[in-house]
Structure 1
């Protein structure tokens, strides 16, 4: 019986990881393709530059990331060096914290997957 439970938990864990990885991949593509400007420590970056930076932080914090929300928290929320939050500037709209921007997109993505 313990063997069956272990197998079931393993399958569940793999499915959860696959789902999380799909969400992270979507967010990375979303950032890379955006026309919005990504502000880090007062410097503006385009989507491709932002995605490259986020990916570097993702690789660095990989072992700490257990969910898509962790990915956003560790990789795309704020500078570890200065503590300043990353911001996103989209056209004439007020800037928004990147965390909020990505959580909104994650919610939309999850809703579309149902």
Structure 2
């Protein structure tokens, strides 16, 4: 299980614990309500809290991010993550996992937010990601991806 998966499970468990404590504090004084009814109400609240939330990127932003990651994958560039260089296809797969995580947490609504929050630096070490193309000096992925996004947008507006 990846670190992000563990963090996601822990987040859901924390939310469920808080919801359960709130529900119990509200339900305790209501001793008149039957136990089965209280349990059903609690289960509904917990299930709602666990399944609520995940909102995908709006369609236009999703199309831009998909095109951006496609450009990265088909480039001859390499991607540096925490000191190790990776092929562009590996970088795309990694960034798609980060996008899914951000979407699950409702933390991204635009291509720019994806670049800033998921594709610019390691969430583990805080080190910036780098992109190196055809022997050129490496640039931070935020710069490379923003430049590519600008090119995508200008190409689609013609």
| TM-score with structure 1 setting the length | 0.82
Hey, what's the Cα distance between the residues in 2 that align with 1:37 and 1:26?
Answer: 17
Counterpart in the other structure of 1:37: 78
Partner residue of 2:119 out of 62, 76, 83: 76
Consecutive aligned runs of 4 or more in structure 1 exceeding 3 Å deviation: none
| Deviation for aligned residue 1:94 | 1.2
SS for the counterpart of 2:137 is coil
Counterpart in the other structure of 2:130: 87
The higher relative CO (CA closer than 8 Å, separation ≥ 6) is in 1
| 8 A Cα contact 1:58 1:71, kept in partner | yes
SS for the counterpart of 2:121 is coil
| Deviation for aligned residue 1:18 | 2.1
Question: 5+ unaligned residues in a row in structure 2: which ranges?
Answer: 1-56
Question: 5+ unaligned residues in a row in structure 1: which ranges?
Answer: 1-15
In our comparison, the structure showing a higher alpha carbon Rg is 2
| TM-score with structure 2 setting the length | 0.60
Counterpart in the other structure of 1:105: 148
Q: Which residues of 2 match residues 46-85 of structure 1 at below 5 A?
A: 46-62=87-103, 63-85=106-128
- The root-mean-square deviation of aligned C-alpha atoms, in Å, is 1.3
Hey, what's the Cα distance between the residues in 2 that align with 1:35 and 1:48?
Answer: 10
Hey, what's the Cα distance between the residues in 2 that align with 1:113 and 1:91?
Answer: 26
